[in-house]
Amino acid sequence: MMSFRNTLLWIGLISLFYACKKEVNPGLYKPKFVVEGWIEEGDFPYVILTHNLPFFTAVDSAQLAEVIIRYAKVTVSNGTETEVLTATTDKRYFPYFLYRGTSLRGKVGGKYSLKVEYAGNTLTAETEIPNPVSIDSLWFVEKPKNKRQLNVQIMDAPNEVNYYRLYSKLEKETVFTPTLMANHDDLFFNGKMLEMQVNRGAANNLTSKHDPYYEAGDTVLVKLSAVPASGYVFWKSLQDELMNGSNPLAGSAKALATNINGPGVGVWCGYSSKIYRMIAR
pTM of the model: 0.86
How confident is the model at residue 60, as a pLDDT? Answer: 60
- In tens, the pLDDT along 228-275 reads 999 999 999 998 887 775 544 445 556 789 999 999 999 999 999 999
Full DSSP string of 105-150: -B-TT-EEEEEEEETTEEEEEEEE-------SEEEEEEETTTEEEE
Query: Which of 76, 70, 78, 160 lies closest to 118, judged by CA?
Result: 70
How confident is the model at residue 186, as a pLDDT? Answer: 93
How confident is the model at residue 19, as a pLDDT? Answer: 44
How confident is the model at residue 205, as a pLDDT? Answer: 62
The whole-angstrom separation of Cα 220 and Cα 189 is: 27
- In tens, the pLDDT along 98-154 reads 999 999 999 999 999 999 999 999 999 999 999 999 999 999 999 999 999 999 999
In degrees, rounded to 5, the angle at the alpha carbon of residue 76 between the alpha carbons of residues 71 and 77 is 150
- Mean pLDDT across the chain: 85
How confident is the model at residue 18, as a pLDDT? Answer: 44
b/e sequence 61-87, b meaning 16+ C-beta within 10 Å:
eeeeeebebeebebbbbbeeeebebeb
Higher pLDDT, 65 or 248: 65
